[in-house]
Amino acid sequence: MRTQIAIIGGGPAGLMLSHILHLEGIHSIVLEKHSRAHVLRRIRAGVLEAGSVALLRDVGLGKRMDEEGHPHDGAYIVWKGERKILIDTAKYTGKQMLAYGQTAITEDLYSARDAADGIVVDEAANVALHDLTTDAPFVTFDKNRDTEQIDCDYVIGCDGFHGVSRRCIPRSVLKTYNKSYPFGWLGVMSETRPLPDIVYANSERGFALASQRSERLSRYYIQCPLDHDVEEWPDDLFWQELKARFPGDIADAMETGPTIEKSIAPLRSFVAEPMRYGRLFLAGDAAHIVPPTGAKGLNLAFSDVYYLSRGLIRHYKQHDDTYLDSYSDTALRRVWGAARLSWYLTRLLHLFPDDNPFDQRTREDELDYVARSENAMATLAEQYVGLPYE
């Protein structure tokens, strides 16, 4: 097989890149390790920045998103069981956020690739990358007991944090930055009417978040110890703990019911630099992970893909590699901005096991300050809504 661009990973980053390249007449093949059903079953992100929404519309994927997504002027933070502020992105930046699930976006992207007869090989096993620093890189993989080879011009690693692509970059070249957090998020999906708003809660019992997917689908999270198992959280206990972390009026407004999914995810910050090695480029979670507190992961995957597609299009259309050569530096500026904000919000809103009462009081004071200061709020709103693409 031969293609211009071999893309490893059929998550949002890989599919979006393949879709944008197709619109410009550039051929790609996507290799995905799992079955399509598995990829579509994963429940992850839910909140899109204005930049991601604009990108999805620009590439013809806005229809269902605009029909089913729920616009928000920002998100609320509550603390001390009574205080409440709106991170008012509409007022301070003129931009809205959109609640629209990653599962739906992935469905939309698969439909677009199918409609264009795009090649997405699923259940591609033992994907391996070769000759990345030559002019003739290639990728091998196993499918149905055969070993296949794809020759290409470039290889793009969109294979998430646990993928193979990043590991092909020698340790002498790649610098990694790591931070883990001493807790996880227990996430729950339930067929109940969600709160009208996205609400982050800081409480003495730990962090909680109320979000949504649709009129009848709610998404909630609570901070929990890393060694907990979902079995330790039967529905009754979950609802009780969730409500205890929110002010009474918000807790009372929460509709409870049977949950349809429960999972625990660890929180981690990770950045790998540079995002290029020879003819390999990394995009999305393959290069960086942020804790979900700022809702930035998927949005970063899309900004990476935007910058990278621009570089590849310029390369093929104008024989100009300026954007490709600056890709890593440009993408990393946005990555570090989001990594810092996600770390900041994680620290501000969670309870850390070795905290003492002083730590919690300074956190509450910082929230009081954001509530009082237009400048502090403007700074937070600008970052939460996402910095504009360069």
- Which residues are annotated as catalytic? 72, 200, 292, 296, 384
Residue corresponding to tokens 């929460």: 254
Spatial CB neighbours of 52, under 8 Å, sequence gap ≥ 6? 298, 299, 302, 303, 386
Residue 334 amino acid letter: R
Spatial CB neighbours of 114, under 8 Å, sequence gap ≥ 6? none
**Which two tokens mark 171?**
């340790």
184 near ligand PHB, rule: CB under 6 A:
no
Q: Which residue among 44, 72, 166, 276 contacts ligand RFL (CB under 6 A)?
A: 44
- Element containing residue 343 per DSSP (H, E): helix 322-349
Residue among 293 and 330 whose Cβ is closer to ligand PHB: 293
Indicate which of ligand PHB, ligand RFL, none lies near residue 309 (CB less than 5 to 8 Å, by partner kind): none
Q: Which residue among 177, 265, 321, 372 contacts ligand RFL (CB under 6 A)?
A: 265
301 near ligand RFL, rule: CB under 6 A:
yes
Residue among 120 and 251 whose Cβ is closer to ligand RFL: 120
| Contact set for ligand RFL, span 73-112 (CB under 6 A) | 102
198 near ligand RFL, rule: CB under 6 A:
no
Q: What's 389's DSSP letter?
A: P
Which stretches does DSSP call E strand in the chain? 5-8, 28-31, 47-48, 70-72, 74-79, 83-88, 97-99, 119-121, 125-130, 138-143, 146-151, 154-157, 175-190, 199-201, 208-214, 217-224, 259-273, 276-277, 280-282, 288-289
Q: Which residue among 3, 293, 346, 383 contacts ligand PHB (CB under 6 A)?
A: 293
Spatial CB neighbours of 373, under 8 Å, sequence gap ≥ 6? none
Spatial CB neighbours of 352, under 8 Å, sequence gap ≥ 6? 182, 183, 359
Indicate which of ligand PHB, ligand RFL, none lies near residue 167 (CB less than 5 to 8 Å, by partner kind): none
219 near ligand PHB, rule: CB under 6 A:
yes
Spatial CB neighbours of 345, under 8 Å, sequence gap ≥ 6? 200, 293, 294
State residue 321 phi and psi, 5-degree precision: -100, 15
386 near ligand RFL, rule: CB under 6 A:
no
385 near ligand RFL, rule: CB under 6 A:
no
Q: Which stretch binds ligand PHB (CB under 6 A): 44-52, 152-160, 172-180, 366-374?
A: 44-52
155, 132 Cβ separation under 8 angstroms: yes
Indicate which of ligand RFL, ligand PHB, none lies near residue 218 (CB less than 5 to 8 Å, by partner kind): none
Q: Which residue among 3, 5, 6, 11 contacts ligand RFL (CB under 6 A)?
A: 11
Q: Which residue among 22, 27, 34, 340 contacts ligand RFL (CB under 6 A)?
A: 34
9 near ligand RFL, rule: CB under 6 A:
yes
Burial class of residue 267 in the structure, from the number of CB atoms within 10 Å of its CB (0-12 exposed, 13-18 middle, 19+ buried)? buried
295 near ligand PHB, rule: CB under 6 A:
yes
Q: Which residue among 17, 21, 45, 150 contacts ligand RFL (CB under 6 A)?
A: 45
Q: 180 has which bridge partners?
A: 268
Q: Which residue among 163, 194, 206, 311 contacts ligand RFL (CB under 6 A)?
A: 163
Q: Which stretch binds ligand PHB (CB under 6 A): 18-26, 43-51, 255-263, 364-372?
A: 43-51
Residues forming the site for ligand PHB (CB under 6 A): 45-47, 198, 209, 211, 219, 292-295
Binding site for ligand RFL (CB under 6 A): 8-14, 31-34, 39, 44-47, 102, 124, 127, 158-160, 162-164, 185, 187, 265, 284-285, 292, 295-299, 301
